[in-house]
């Protein structure tokens, strides 16, 4: 390729493809960098995004490439801001002729202003307190099993391998969660811990006594 005009039809098709694919919030710009930089834009789609049109000028990044300060000027997925406050996600590639000289650039500027605002709304809308867990059980048996599993998770050990102190913490968790309000929960807890009803009764009395002292 000696000049952009050599591939004018191809570039026109490419810009049309990108325009139709990404819609009106995506600006696509083709610059000819071989002439007056003040009038480098030779094709532009959805120019309302940056308020530019054919015959307009390039950006500061193009000047750096033309000045030789940047050897590889291609940049992808960077963020820029327009004078009127739009936030753009941009990518730019520089086009070279057969001799490796930069002769043009193709730039894509996607207006993400509204999606960022909507993202902020979603983050605020979806804020929640995850310190509380609620289990929607089909019956009290599955509810009790859920509480037993939660108690076991809080200790980090299988119930029948817990020592006396850990067993006390396990039972206190169940007590505070109201597990013993469930009918026949005592039998199930004794089975899980491998203890007698007498031991369970004594442990629960110790928990109740400690709770009363703390009130």
Q: Do 16 and 97 share a structural domain?
A: yes
**Is 127 a domain residue?**
no
pLDDT tier for residue 187 given thresholds of 50, 70 and 90: very high
Q: What is the pTM of this model?
A: 0.62
**Is 135 a domain residue?**
no
Number of domains in the chain: 2
pLDDT at 156: 93
Structure confidence by residue, pLDDT tens digits, 113-138: 999 999 988 888 888 776 666 777 88
**Is 121 a domain residue?**
no
φ, ψ dihedrals at 108, nearest 5°: -120, 130
**Is 186 a domain residue?**
yes
Cα separation, 77 vs 83, whole angstroms: 19
CB 103 within 8 A of CB 117: no
The residue range of the domain holding 185 is 140-209
């Amino acid at each position: 390729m000696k000049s952009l005009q050599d591939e004018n039809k191809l570039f026109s098709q490419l810009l049309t493809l990108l325009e139709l694919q990404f819609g009106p919030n995506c600006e696509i710009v083709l610059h000819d960098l071989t002439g007056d930089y003040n009038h480098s834009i030779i094709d532009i789609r959805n120019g309302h995004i940056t308020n530019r049109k054919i015959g307009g000028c390039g950006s500061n990044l193009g000047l750096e490439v033309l000045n030789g300060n940047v050897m590889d000027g291609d940049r992808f997925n960077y963020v820029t801001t327009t004078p009127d406050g739009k936030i753009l996600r941009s990518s730019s590639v520089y086009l070279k002729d057969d001799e490796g000289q930069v002769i043009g650039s193709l730039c894509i500027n996607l207006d993400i202003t509204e999606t960022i605002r909507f993202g902020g709304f979603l983050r605020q809308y979806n804020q929640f307190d995850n310190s509380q867990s609620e289990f929607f059980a089909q019956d009290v048996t599955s509810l009790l099993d859920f509480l037993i599993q939660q108690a076991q998770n809080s200790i980090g050990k299988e119930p029948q391998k817990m020592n006396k102190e850990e067993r006390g913490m396990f039972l206190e968790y169940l007590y505070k969660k109201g597990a013993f309000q469930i009918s026949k929960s005592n039998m199930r807890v004794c089975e899980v811990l491998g203890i007698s009803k007498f031991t369970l009764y004594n442990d629960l009395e110790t928990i109740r006594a400690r709770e009363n002292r703390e009130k």
